[in-house]
Structure 1
Amino acid sequence: MSLTVAASLAVPPAQATPASAHHTLAYIANSASNSVSVIDTATNTTTATIPVGTQPVGVAFKPGGAFVYVTNFGSASVSVIDTATHSVITTIPVGSLPRGVAFKPDGSLAYVANTSSNALSVIDTASNTVITTIPVGTGPVGVTVSPSGTFAYVTNGGSNAVSVIDTVSNTVSTTIPVGTAPAESAFKADGSLLYVTNYGSADVSVIDTPTNAVVATIPVGTEPLGVAVSPTRSRAYVVISGSDTVAVINTVTHTIATEIPVGTQPIEATFKPCSSHLYVTNRFSNSVSVIDTATNTIVTTIRVGRQPAGVAIAAIAGMST
């Protein structure tokens, strides 16, 4: 599978039901169904299916949980979903082949990586309009904003580099060479390290963010894509799409501690807040594997739409988990 195909990853719509109190919800972008599945993580069941644009792949909650932004790879747009009603309230035109999406911690801006435009769209979330476009490297795939909100890191799959964006000036402050065809990235909880999956070189680059230098390169399995770092344990979880596993990296020794079999061609992974549970999308199994990272075992598998790609989880604003 090429990185372009991986970047494009992305059930007839069911009647949506309002979000319930005391629940944390997972939103799954189903790239071949043109829909988003909503999972109640208390019961690990699908409670709604929301039609969006063509080939949705990226998904992220605006901080606070009131809205979800979904990148539509095939229709050059972002669907904005109201989580109270599970409905699309607006659609924002962006660049060509949008993939990753991430927010500043205060929720004021969303950043969208446009793979074919070689640029980052910056969305003002108050007006849901693009206020500027930032040229980056070739074939940007993923974008991650630092915990402080000061910088956004963009993985450029076609130029083997990470662009570092100053979120005050919305300009590129530096470019970091990494492995071949970088795909996704995730921060250590304190923001000191960034883990970057390199799809083409089958490894993970570890960036020291105070210096923006690569301090370690960790060999992993074939075609690594998504990555999630545990907020409470010294572990990073790397989705290995070529071997249908999740590699568990010890973030102290930067070695692989174990591997966990999941579904067919896993794509992305993210943690449920305040939980040891990791949710992994499996593209060709049309499912989500839920891993208990305390034991590194699968506790359940959830059926979703066709070819699931992105996943995001949050508690809805004003509601408890």
Structure 2
Amino acid sequence: MNGHSSFGGRIETEGSAQRLFLGLAATALLVLGVTGTGAATAAADTVTKTIPLGADPVRVAVSADGSEVYVTTSDDNAVSVIDAATYSVSGTVPVADGAAGVAVSEDGTRAYVTTRNDSVAVIDTDTNGVTDTVEVGTRPYGVAVTPDGEQVYVANIDDDSVSVIRTSDNTVTNIDIVDGGPIDVAVNPEGTRVYVVNEHDDSVSVIDTATNAVMHTVRVGDSPKGVVVTPDGSRAYVTNFDDDTVSVINTSDNTVTEIGEVGDGPLEVAITPDGTRVYVTAFNDDAVSVIDTVTNTVAEFLEEVGDGPEGVAIDPDGSRAYVANNNDATVSVIDIDHGKCTGSLCFGS
């Protein structure tokens, strides 16, 4: 398996911010765990199911009640709907060419899917039918819905913009991003800030949702791809594909620290509802890294997932993570263990 084959693509970038690497801390904790002398503990997660899908699964989102999982399958121009109770595909929703990003509103009534034909498909989750197709910017990818469900933010890679969809009537306004290649977006829990990852310029733009203006630009690692905000809004975690790190932004002052050794080619990222663990897909390692948010070190490295893991999402109760494996067209289901294992760290094999 070589390189990143999905819709977003691997983009070479130049320059990076000064970083604080925490890889040595992770190594020290591992030694303590192996010897049994460390006080820290970590949960041991397990891949329990592998679900076959259509060609080229990219992104994942879970319904508000956790009963359904939505997976975009780019080459099939569709969204696969997985029944979380039976781990089987219960339906397929056709959309326009090249389904990419997907997000579900907090009330669970709508799913929003970005497509290669510069549009967003609006899916009624009750019927799993497309109710509207909204034109946005060029090559949309990442998508996020505000907590109140009133606005949807879409990152448009090729025209350096973010489209904002007003959900009451699906009208669109566009925000120009100074930095290039916006690929992913995340909204903080209060709905006041949007974090936009710019893969061409190694940065994150911070948007004020009241004015839809860019407030800050934060420098991160090399070729950033994914972003997630903690449930308390205090930090944003950003994957950096080309230097195999995760940047952690302190949202109060936009300072950055960096977590190293998260695997080869970190792509997408998700966080548990309690904010204790961050899950990072390592595309070139066929693995998922699990970060302990208290220490900001890698606590687990799960190698049981499929070929080319890309999208990742966690269900609302924090019991399962779903990973879209791009190269072998499957979804891995990870049971999240909230118990503690002996020693310091538990690594999958």
With normalisation by structure 2, the TM-score equals 0.78
Q: Deviations over 1:170-206 (max 9, x none)?
A: 121x211112110111112211111100011111000
Matching residue of 1:214: 214
Matching residue of 1:79: 80
Matching residue of 1:62: 63
- 2: CA distance, partners of 1:246 / 1:54: 28
Matching residue of 2:274: 274
Matching residue of 2:17: none
Contact residue 8 and residue 73 of structure 1 kept, 8 A: no
Matching residue of 1:159: 159
Matching residue of 2:174: 175
Matching residue of 2:300: 300
Q: Deviations over 1:231-259 (max 9, x none)?
A: 23621111001100001111111121333
Q: Secondary structure at the match of 2:264?
A: coil
Contact residue 3 and residue 284 of structure 2 kept, 8 A: no
- What is the Cα deviation at residue 82 of structure 1? 0.3
- 1: CA distance, partners of 2:220 / 2:174: 24
Matching residue of 2:132: 132
Whichever structure has more strand as a proportion of its residues is: 1
- What is the Cα deviation at residue 275 of structure 1? 3.7
Matching residue of 1:97: 98
- What is the Cα deviation at residue 98 of structure 1? 1.0
Report the CA distance shift for 1:203/1:177 in structure 2 as closer, same or farther (over 3 A).
same
Contact residue 155 and residue 183 of structure 1 kept, 8 A: yes
Pair 1:191-2:182 in alignment: no
Report the CA distance shift for 1:152/1:233 in structure 2 as closer, same or farther (over 3 A).
closer
Pair 1:251-2:251 in alignment: yes
- 1: CA distance, partners of 2:92 / 2:262: 33
Contact residue 123 and residue 131 of structure 1 kept, 8 A: yes
Contact residue 276 and residue 293 of structure 2 kept, 8 A: yes
Q: Secondary structure at the match of 1:54?
A: coil
- Backbone CA RMSD of aligned residues: 2.3
Which structure has the greater CA radius of gyration?
2
Report the CA distance shift for 1:2/1:251 in structure 2 as closer, same or farther (over 3 A).
farther
Matching residue of 2:109: 108
Contact residue 71 and residue 81 of structure 2 kept, 8 A: yes
Q: Deviations over 1:266-318 (max 9, x none)?
A: 00111111141000000000000000011011111112000000000014699
With normalisation by structure 1, the TM-score equals 0.85
Letter of the aligned partner of 1:101 in structure 2? Answer: V
Q: Secondary structure at the match of 1:74?
A: helix
Letter of the aligned partner of 2:191 in structure 1? Answer: G
Q: Deviations over 1:57-107 (max 9, x none)?
A: 110001100000000011111000000000000111101111110112111
Letter of the aligned partner of 2:291 in structure 1? Answer: I
- 2: CA distance, partners of 1:73 / 1:280: 21
Q: Deviations over 1:216-237 (max 9, x none)?
A: 0011121101011112362111
- 2: CA distance, partners of 1:181 / 1:4: 17
**Structural mapping, 1:220-239, within 5 Å:** 220-232=220-232, 234-239=234-239
Matching residue of 2:324: none
Q: Secondary structure at the match of 1:201?
A: coil
- 1: CA distance, partners of 2:228 / 2:190: 14
- What is the Cα deviation at residue 210 of structure 1? 0.6
Contact residue 237 and residue 249 of structure 2 kept, 8 A: yes
Report the CA distance shift for 1:316/1:136 in structure 2 as closer, same or farther (over 3 A).
same
Contact residue 7 and residue 74 of structure 2 kept, 8 A: no
